Structure 1
């Protein structure tokens, strides 16, 4: 669907023209053709061409020929006239005469107006490169303004190009500049640039493209910026070297789109997220730490006017906590499990405790917590019999979860206890005068708190530590009983979202092979999520299903990630969710559950304000001592108002 781009997205691209070395007029027309196509067909806003793309990079001593330099200016003039109607910032490479020297430059222009000329700073003169034979460094320039194509334009390496309609701020560096210990883009970023352009001409030798990838990924990550890199293509001279037209669009350490060795002129584009980058910068107070360098920058303004674009060209991950590939999932699950188990093991070592108590329900969370306990005890070489697993059947316990709990504990070789809670709860109902036929929140919470009391008291009796089982998603939604399952002495799942808990249990099952343990774990993974506090149905199956009450954890984990990790607005999260879950949930359903998410997230903060200790394992955590500090009585009004004012098409 088409939408007004008010969420910080920018459609940016890189292009490799099929050029003729030493024929600027031809090359200029080819650049114009690609730019026109990118604008009209794909609504690209920023487009970068390779280093010296007007002339061709491999002209050699022809760069000293006046006719070539004059033809480059003529080609640029034609290009400016031919792109006047395009609402697109274009960057091309060409030789520029200034200060009695010749500079290898990037020329940036918009709607026929040259915004600035950026000369290359680091001019390579080693191995196959002899650029100093023709070009001077930006450090050798004198002028800050030059005349080009009848326009007075800014000239220098320290230029910033600011869109007046958004937070977009562009800077450029050229090829070799990136390969230095402190690239110019590092300074550009600290002065405000969030999109770095790099017109380049990097030839191919075995393995070099991997190094280029690493450079672009690392620099975009260090600068918390997007990075558009494009190298000269195969139509350059092959007298001594070959160019591949390596193009990359990167964002904060990730390559989003890439091309290399395309047989003809090629063009790639992607929707980068400027808002996300700026949110990340503001959160990272090391980004501008002790920045005192007094370099002078010239800021040039331009204005994008057409902000309506088509379908978003960006991969929106519906499961941001879960790696997409099985290989990466396996790697991450192992790492997460290790962090959890070491966290618990160190707590036991430092307290001198060699016994833990954990409630086992036969559900996902308690299963993962128990597996972590087993791993921690094995690491410490403490007998698994010192793990006291307690199953506490109540009014809502089903045969499936009850049997799985017992089988799991038996297979793991821990100490098994069973303490039914019905009689204790009935006595408590009588004590407080509650009619147990009323299946309300009191009915449910009495059971949760009874279980916690049992765990705490047995921990006291055995000089042990109660291991909490609650996960990150439950904490975000407040889907736990205050001072019930909300409370423990150390919570190993505290920063594991529900969508990831399932994968962790499945991963452990895979490592168990074709065994009874694997079968138990797989059945637990396939059991509906439920606190089992209400009686089962007539067939003895789970009646109280969490996701039918508060919504899918797939949705809530998506909301949580984008709210906390990126600071996105409710309307932007809604937009992203409609794309990520297209075909699975209707827009009305997504909006309904998003409102529920915000209401619960705000109103349930009081439970997170007194959270037990537990290890952080990912980028999102709700510990009141670390990642998330929020007043328990904050208002959610402006967040809900934004959603209420949205118009669903």
Structure 2
């Protein structure tokens, strides 16, 4: 018999408060969905206003303009003869809800408010919205007059209901509800809902895609059904990158996969599926059917419209596919590159400037910019006219077409090696060669003159001249002299970012890129307001370990041979005097901890919610083969001392691409204090007591003698 339905889901690059651009992208997605034969179209969460409006949700303007966009959508010929499911904030009885508005042919069918709000990590939905708590309850919502004039409706259903079309039943979930232990799709499926939809605003984190895909597929594996997921994509105006990954699943299998990283602002995924396959799948699950016979029914909104093709058994249906996952190295190569592109094209700047030291971190940042140039050039080559228009606006040339990655890189990317008397020839050579291979416009300069002037002012005023430690100076003098160099580099970076294009006879200014990794930020191994201070930082949420793997990936895939020597060199700040022309200062020696250890501390501190004592308890088991309990205690104490001493630096951390769930970034993600009692006296005493107990128990263990 067969009941084939064609469904469309979207990944849209929406931008907070860009109502003009957002409505254009929504209409384009609906137009594409209809062209491909879809009779239902799903869009991302809060797509009308953009997900990342944050405290703008408090403003009545945001709700007002969202309804104005809704009116425009309702009136458009593009939205006729297809069920459209869009996201926006709605005020109901003076309570703000995150809603789906589902409409057909100028009539609103249902406003479905979100019931489970995301309120952890980067998400603060409870700050702006209230969850709808009345399950299976619908009330009448009085529409604004501007909508009444379009639809002819005075009120519409508002609440937890499902849509009953002529041929099937469709129920909505919104983002976090999929992740909840009692997801609505469970009860909806038992009540006969065959199609589940989920509109998401789910951001990218390294290695997260597996979890999202598994959740979607498992949602229909036990209960049967079709699951349609839409997602935001791109930079919505903040630190997060929404990675698309729209998908359609049926009966536990992926049917259609959208791209995870793409420069296309509008991506529409369409699949044709047979609803009879859902019925057949469910028929064999007796445990499901027993539960279904006792379920409380959902209110059903009757819709005089069919999703399936009437009496057409010849429509081909889609078959299951294998999901193609990116490796973490590919994710680093693609995600931050797409985020940078969004930031560049929307900031109206002419490119980026990067202080390139010849070390792993700044080199990885340079490679991400190069990857961005590669993605842009490829998109233009493949005919993406929107990307080409953005490129021409950025370079201020209406006839320009990027030839290749290196040529485009030279147009929009400036690298700058800022040498001092403490810099080695090796780092100079590494930076020079990498800049040559990626094609950036490269500047070499020396900061010694500026350093001497600044230190000279201090000496003239105070009557004393600070010295490096190797010349007999104290630790305080040594650190101050290092920090002067670092901060001067920040001042010069911004000066060159503002004026280097002017000096070259080119229009526009440049965005300054930072290159402090997540582990250095966690430890605080950076100078406050040095060249880690920048406009944005594409690697600020990525660990040193992952960056090394990414460098290896770039060597192999971009043939950047300059990276080979960068990989083999020990990380160093090069802020202390050279010894016999060689670097004597290394990052790990300065920090007193390895980068591998820092990744472990970060995950335990943030993800496992471990304080000093519980971190010690976990690590004595994790590291029992390489460290004694006393050594573990010493490492944990050192980390927490340095973490708490330097925590204040996180208040000024450059906005960074969020890629790790142990990011210490203070402004949005890691809401810990920045003034601590750095002795941790009670906590460290608890650790010492446990060390003594463990050592006493070890001494009391009997010695087993060999017996012949």
TM-score scaled by structure 2? Answer: 0.44
TM-score scaled by structure 1? Answer: 0.48
Larger Rg: 1
